[in-house]
Amino acid sequence: MLHIVACIKQVPDTKIIKMNPKTNTMDRASAPAILNPYDAHAVEEAVRLKKRYGGLVSVLTMGPPPAVKAIKKCIEIGADEGYMISDRAFAGADTLATSYALTKALEKISKIHPIDLIICGKMTIDGDTGQVGPGIARRLDIPPLTSVKKVVEVNEKERYMVIHRKLEDGYEVIKSPLPCLLAVEKEINKVPYSPLPNMMKAARYKPIIWAVADLEDIDRTQLGLKGSPTIVSKVWAPPKPQGGTILDGTNDQQVQQLLDIVLEKKELFQ
């Protein structure tokens, strides 16, 4: 039975987030927490593969207790099981510490059901580094496949899969042994509205939650802020541009002024 684990993260909706103009900090309360949009595609792809080949879809997140909501959203999309690692000790993790903690959780999950495939989103909309997926793959010593825009085939028996990896001007067809890790593009699928039974299941669903103490062979010095080589030393609002000259007069006059300005670069208009 194919066991696919999608890694998902709850993020503030950056479309709605507001900045406090006085302190130049983010007003986190202004932004509702949502399932990272790229991760919705990761879960959807896992669910589609389950429909095609049979199997089990689990989701895994590291986050504070409210992140349970993001897991429920994945159950709505069609995931079967949800795992969450949540502990003060994980706080402040950069991508290196995040991939370490997630790897420890994946190792524990694989003891319950061996994992054939891990699917991550291309990136998150808050940190948006795209570094966590390849980091997990290296730690588990499985091939990372990023920029994945299509899954062509999964062959569970012969233990390989074939995918399309997006290039700037086309794509490459890659064959990889299982298990491997995919980081998927948005174009890989469309996430439809969730069917009612899934929504009812999600409402009641309680994920399995582990603290650091529940994970085996864990090196605490590699977790959270302590285990993070990168430090965010300063945060500031992007400098406000000063603004340009607004032309005046009638529409005709403005157009004429603009013409003069632009035609100074006459060499550009062959």
User: For other proteins, which stretch binds (CB under 8 A), given 2-10, 58-66, 106-114, 125-133?
Assistant: 125-133
**Per-residue tokens: 90:** 């994980």
116 binding other proteins? (CB under 8 A): no
User: For other proteins, which stretch binds (CB under 8 A), given 54-62, 82-90, 124-132, 207-215?
Assistant: 124-132
CA 90 from chain centre, in angstroms, equals 18
* Interface mask toward other proteins for 246-265; x: CB under 8 A: xx---xx-xxx-xx-xxx-x
CB 63 within 8 A of CB 10: yes
Is the CB of 95 or the CB of 147 nearer to ligand FAD?
A: 95
C-alpha dihedral sign at 243, 234, 135, 37: negative
Q: Token match 């980091």: residue?
A: 135
Dist. CA 94–CA 7, nearest whole Å: 16
Q: Token match 């999950």: residue?
A: 109
* Interface mask toward other proteins for 77-96; x: CB under 8 A: -----------------xxx
* Interface mask toward other proteins for 12-51; x: CB under 8 A: x-xx-x-x----x-x-------------------------
CA 33 from chain centre, in angstroms, equals 14
Structural Rg of the chain based on CA atoms:
23
CB 81 within 8 A of CB 61: no
**213-252 residues near ligand FAD, rule: CB under 6 A:** 230, 232
* Interface mask toward ligand FAD for 17-36; x: CB under 6 A: -------------------x
Q: Token match 């825009």: residue?
A: 149
- Least CB distance to ligand FAD at residue 200 (A): 25
98 binding ligand FAD? (CB under 6 A): yes
Is the CB of 217 or the CB of 260 nearer to other proteins?
A: 260
144 binding ligand FAD? (CB under 6 A): no
Among 78, 82, 121, 144, binds other proteins (CB under 8 A): 144
Residues touching other proteins, count (CB under 8 A): 76
Is the CB of 213 or the CB of 259 nearer to other proteins?
A: 259
130 binding ligand FAD? (CB under 6 A): yes
Dist. CA 207–CA 248, nearest whole Å: 61
CA dihedral of 64, 65, 70, 74, whole degrees rounded to 10 = 120
Dist. CA 136–CA 133, nearest whole Å: 5
